[in-house]
C-alpha cells in the first residue's frame, strides 16, 4: 500500500533522486530541507514513515528524532536515519536517539526500499501489502480480497481498512480517537461516533462467515479484534 514518507534531506540532488524512487515504489514522498520545516509538516499531518539525514542545517537529524520521540503524538512514527557516518559509535548514537534503522551513504535504492518495507512491516504492518491471516480470516491487500471459513466477504473501502488495521494489531484495545488517527488519518475532523457506524458495517459484513464476534466492544475503552470470542 502507498505510504506517506517524509524525506528530510538538505542536498537537492539526493532529495530529488530519493523522492523519485519513492514514487516509483508506489509511495507518496513529502520533502523537507531542514528539521524546522520537517517538524512543521509533521504538525500538519502524521507521515507513515520518516527518512532523516544526520547532517542537517541548524538542528541535526539526531536532535530531530529525539524531538519526534519525545512528543506523545509523534513518538510511534517509524524512522530511518540516512547518513555518511559509518562508524559503529555513530550507528549506536543514531539508534539510541530513536531511529528504527540506520542506512549509510552511499546506498542503493533497492536497499532503501527493502529497509522501508522491513520497518513498515515491523512498525506499521497495515501499510504493507502482505497477506494477513487471523483465525479463519484472510485479508489480501494486493488483491483487495477478504475471506473467512471458505466464504468471500464483500467489504467497503473503509471497512477493509478497519479490518486490515485490526488484523495487524490483534488483541489490543483501541479507542475511537486512535482508530480515527490510524484508519482515517491524523487531523481528519470527523465525529468519533463515525467509528461506531463503520464497526457496525464491518460486523454485518463478517456475519455470513460467523466471524463477527471476533470484533469486540470493550465498554468505556474502544474496540479490539480477539481470538477469544
pLDDT in tens, 74-92: 988 999 999 887 677 777 8
- Residue 47: C-alpha distances to residues 54, 120, 185, 194 (Å): 19, 12, 9, 23
pLDDT at 127 over 80: no
Pick the residue with more confidence: 62 or 92?
62
Q: For residue 21, what pLDDT band results from cuts at 50, 70 and 90?
A: very high
CATH code of the region 132-225: 1.10.10.10
Q: Where are the domains of the chain?
A: 4-127, 132-225
Averaged pLDDT score across all residues of the chain: 90
- Residue 217: C-alpha distances to residues 56, 113, 114, 167, 179 (Å): 46, 38, 37, 15, 13
Helix (H) or strand (E) holding 46: none
- Report the pLDDT averaged over residues 196-204: 96
Pick the residue with more confidence: 165 or 90?
165
Pick the residue with more confidence: 123 or 224?
224
pLDDT at 149 over 70: yes
C-alpha grid cell, residue 108 = 542503493
pTM: 0.70
Structure confidence at residue 121 (pLDDT): 83
- Report the pLDDT averaged over residues 154-174: 94
Q: For residue 188, what pLDDT band results from cuts at 50, 70 and 90?
A: low
Domain 4-127 top-level CATH class? alpha beta
Structure confidence at residue 1 (pLDDT): 65
- Report the pLDDT averaged over residues 35-40: 95
Amino acid at each position: 500500500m502507498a505510504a506517506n514518507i517524509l524525506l528530510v534531506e538538505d542536498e537537492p540532488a539526493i532529495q530529488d533522486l530519493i523522492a523519485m524512487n519513492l514514487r516509483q515504489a508506489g509511495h507518496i514522498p513529502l520533502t523537507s530541507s531542514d528539521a524546522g520545516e520537517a517538524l512543521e509538516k509533521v504538525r500538519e499531518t502524521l507521515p507513515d514513515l520518516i527518512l532523516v539525514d544526520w547532517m542537517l542545517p541548524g538542528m541535526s537529524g539526531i536532535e530531530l528524532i529525539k524531538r519526534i520521540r519525545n512528543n506523545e503524538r509523534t513518538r510511534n512514527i517509524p524512522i530511518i536515519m540516512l547518513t555518511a557516518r559509518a562508524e559503529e559509535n555513530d550507528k549506536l548514537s543514531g539508534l539510541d536517539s530513536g531511529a528504527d534503522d540506520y542506512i549509510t551513504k552511499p546506498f542503493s535504492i533497492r536497499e532503501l526500499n527493502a529497509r522501508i518495507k522491513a520497518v513498515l512491516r515491523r512498525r506499521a504492518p497495515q501499510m504493507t501489502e502482505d497477506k494477513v491471516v487471523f483465525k479463519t480470516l484472510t485479508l489480501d491487500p494486493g488483491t483487495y480480497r477478504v475471506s473467512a471459513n471458505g466464504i468471500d466477504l464483500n467489504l467497503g473501502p473503509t471497512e477493509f481498512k478497519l479490518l486490515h488495521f485490526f488484523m495487524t494489531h490483534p488483541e489490543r484495545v483501541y479507542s475511537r480517537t486512535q482508530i480515527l488517527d490510524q484508519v482515517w488519518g491524523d487531523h481528519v475532523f470527523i465525529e468519533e461516533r463515525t467509528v461506531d457506524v463503520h464497526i457496525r458495517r464491518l460486523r454485518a459484513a463478517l456475519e455470513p462467515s460467523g466471524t463477527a464476534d471476533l470484533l469486540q466492544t470493550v465498554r468505556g475503552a474502544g474496540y479490539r479484534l480477539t481470538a477469544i470470542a
